[in-house]
Amino acid sequence: MTEEGSVPVGVPFFPYGRGNLGRTPVLSQTDFSVFQDIKTGMRTSVELGLTVLNLFDQATITRYDNTRMVADLPITLDQFFNGGWDYEALLAANPTSVDPKFRQADQFQAPREIRFTVKFKF
């Protein structure tokens, strides 16, 4: 996970380099499928199937909100590229611009999904 900021015109940057917020939890998922062919005649059959994705309905976090400000930093592109500005001081000077969702989980593993299939083969 990497904290991301942006300067005017929506140009993103990483104020502390990549990976400064750690990692998301380990993601694992168990899927299950079963199919059965049933003969209905000399040349015809029906295949019934069941597929369950995320069998145990795990809800692992896959992303955290990584943007601390709800708007661009209050500096110009020239100031940004010339350097000499303090990211934390700019955040402290604009407390209403700080996003309360920062570092909160905002994406999760897809919930359990069950699919029934019927195939007619002729």
| Domain residue limits, the chain | 5-121
Short-list 85, 65, 64, CA closest to 8 = 85
Give pLDDT tens digits for 32-70. Answer: 999 999 999 889 999 999 999 999 999 999 999 999 999
Separation between Cα atoms, residue 22 and residue 119, nearest integer Å: 46
105, β-bridge pairs: 64
Q: What is the β-pairing status of strands 61-64 and 45-53?
A: unpaired
Assess whether pLDDT exceeds 90 at residue 115.
Answer: yes
* Mean pLDDT of the region 92-96: 87
Q: How much is the average pLDDT of 60-83?
A: 91
- pLDDT at res. 33: 98
